[in-house]
């Protein structure tokens, strides 16, 4: 049984990665109902929280059905991170996660996210201050290092564990790699084999199938995997991995009916949380992903992303269902 603090997560938990503009409550809803064991909010700016910025505060919204859920924070100032963590704690998550892995310039160039990989003492001090301030478990997500010359994740893991974090997730790339090239899990496996390490170690990067998840578990001994981009338009991946673990067999690919059902649910939850205008607008980024691989879907997609009418979207989805059911027949 893998545990983060007192949170029991099963024998090989699957977590949904925090993804900006993706892992909001509507998306988390469909992932939870398709097997995600642990989820995180989109990452939240510590400066935004302490300034009471509306966008940051909205990201604190969590719901009982999502539990266990963590709020993920990023920032470059120790005092701001401590204060933001206390604000996040008031939203009653199950844990707070610190992002030391985001590679994008808008974050790293402000001394936050993966930038802290260039200043390990500051990373350790910031984490320690958050751990001391909170009653909740604190976890960390980071990368192998800043670049190929500074893959110091082994040292980082020990030092962060020693000051009290309850789990560590490592993305198998450096900051310099961004999301390019294959993820290297070798160092993640070495952390897990380190006799000094006793906290759960989650691996992240390129897990896009049940076979890949099982391979990483068997080869590197990790406690669980975190899935990000592979879940976009494919929330079934969590149940697919669980089914494969249990039976050794692949689940059938989701039918067109299943795709449409989950897409409709996602849309409905988006409207409930964001309102009809923003909910419909922000759902547009998801249609192509839900129907990826369908021949001749482009015309349907263009209609879906250009209408503002909920009824018309449902009508188009009905057409999609009928069209591809006829083809299958």
- Each residue's pLDDT tens digit, 237-278: 999 999 999 998 889 989 999 999 999 999 999 999 999 999
Handedness of CA 243, 97, 187, 117 (dihedral sign): positive
Same fold, 3-247 and 256-328: no
Asked if pLDDT for residue 309 goes beyond 90, the answer is yes
Q: What is the pLDDT of residue 327?
A: 65
For 170-190, what is each residue's pLDDT tens digit?
A: 999 999 888 888 889 999 999
Pick the CATH number of 3-247 from 2.60.40.2250, 1.10.645.10, 3.30.70.260, 3.20.20.70: 3.20.20.70
Token pair for 284:
């547009």
95 neighbors 66 (Cβ within 8 angstroms)? no
Higher-pLDDT residue of 109, 147: 147
Judging by DSSP bridges, how do beta strands 3-4 and 7-8 pair with one another? antiparallel
Fold observed for domain 256-328:
1.10.1200
Catalytic residue list contains 109: no
* Averaged pLDDT, 309-315: 95
E-strand stretches of 101-207: 138-143, 167-171, 201-204
pLDDT band at 149 (very low <50, low <70, confident <90, very high): confident
What is the pLDDT at residue 90?
95
**Averaged pLDDT of the chain:** 93
pLDDT class for 117, splitting at 50, 70, 90? very high
The arithmetic mean of pLDDT across residues 191-206, rounded, is: 96
Per-residue exposure over 245-265, b if at least 16 CB sit within 10 Å of its own CB, e if not: eeeeeeeeebebeebbebbee
Q: What is the model's pTM?
A: 0.93
DSSP assignment of 51-120: TT-HHHHHTT---GGG-SEEEEEE-S-HHHHHHHHHHHHTT--SEEEEEE----HHHHTTT-GGGGGG-H
- The C-alpha atoms of residue 299 and residue 303 are separated, in whole angstroms, by 6
Residue of 294, 270, 322 whose CA lies nearest to 30 = 270
Which one of 31, 102, 109, 263 is the catalytic residue? 102
Reply yes or no on whether the pLDDT at 328 is more than 80.
no
pLDDT of residue 325 exceeding 90: no
| Model confidence pLDDT, tens digit, residues 84-108 | 999 999 999 999 999 998 888 888 8
Q: Which segments within the chain are labelled E, that is strand? A: 3-4, 7-8, 14-16, 38-40, 44-45, 69-74, 95-100, 138-143, 167-171, 201-204, 224-227
Assess whether pLDDT exceeds 70 at residue 140. Answer: yes
The answer to whether 165 and 182 have CB atoms below 8 angstroms apart is no
pLDDT score of 49 more than 50: yes
Domain boundaries, the chain: 3-247, 256-328
Quick one: what percent of the chain has pLDDT higher than 90? 82
Between 180 and 227, residue with greater pLDDT: 227
pLDDT of residue 189: 95
Q: SS3 of 141, please?
A: strand
For residue 296, what pLDDT band results from cuts at 50, 70 and 90? confident
Looking at residue 153, its pLDDT comes to 94
Strand, coil or helix: what is 150? coil
pLDDT of residue 329: 46
């Amino acid at each position: 049984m893998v545990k983060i603090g007192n949170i029991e997560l099963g024998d090989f938990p699957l977590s949904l990665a925090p993804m900006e503009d993706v892992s909001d409550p509507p998306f988390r809803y469909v992932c939870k109902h398709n097997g995600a064991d642990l989820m995180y909010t989109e990452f939240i700016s510590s400066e935004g929280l302490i300034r009471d910025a509306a966008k940051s505060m909205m990201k604190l919204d969590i719901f009982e059905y999502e539990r266990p859920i963590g709020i993920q924070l990023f920032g470059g100032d120790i005092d701001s991170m401590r204060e933001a963590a206390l604000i996040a704690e008031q939203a009653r998550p199950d844990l707070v996660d610190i992002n030391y892995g985001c590679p994008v310039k808008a974050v790293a160039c402000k001394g936050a996210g993966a930038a802290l990989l260039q200043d390990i003492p500051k990373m350790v001090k910031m984490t320690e201050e958050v751990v001391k301030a909170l009653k909740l478990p604190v976890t960390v997500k980071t990368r192998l290092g800043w670049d190929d010359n500074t893959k110091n994740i082994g040292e980082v893991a020990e030092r962060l564990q020693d000051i009290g974090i309850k789990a560590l997730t490592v993305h198998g790339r450096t900051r310099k790699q961004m999301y390019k090239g294959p993820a290297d899990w070798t160092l993640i496996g070495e952390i897990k084999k380190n006799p000094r390490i006793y906290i759960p170690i989650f691996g992240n990067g390129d897990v896009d199938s049940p076979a890949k998840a099982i391979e990483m578990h068997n080869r590197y001994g990790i406690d669980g995997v975190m899935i990000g981009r592979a879940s976009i338009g494919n929330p079934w991946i969590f149940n697919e991995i669980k089914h494969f673990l249990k039976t050794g067999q692949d689940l059938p690919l989701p039918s067109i009916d299943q795709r449409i059902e989950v897409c409709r649910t996602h849309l409905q939850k988006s409207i409930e949380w964001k309102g009809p205008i923003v909910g419909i607008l922000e759902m547009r980024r998801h249609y192509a992903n839900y129907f990826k691989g369908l021949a001749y879907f482009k015309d349907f997609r263009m209609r879906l992303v250009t209408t503002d009418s909920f009824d018309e979207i449902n009508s188009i989805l009905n057409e999609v269902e009928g069209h591809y059911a006829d083809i299958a027949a």
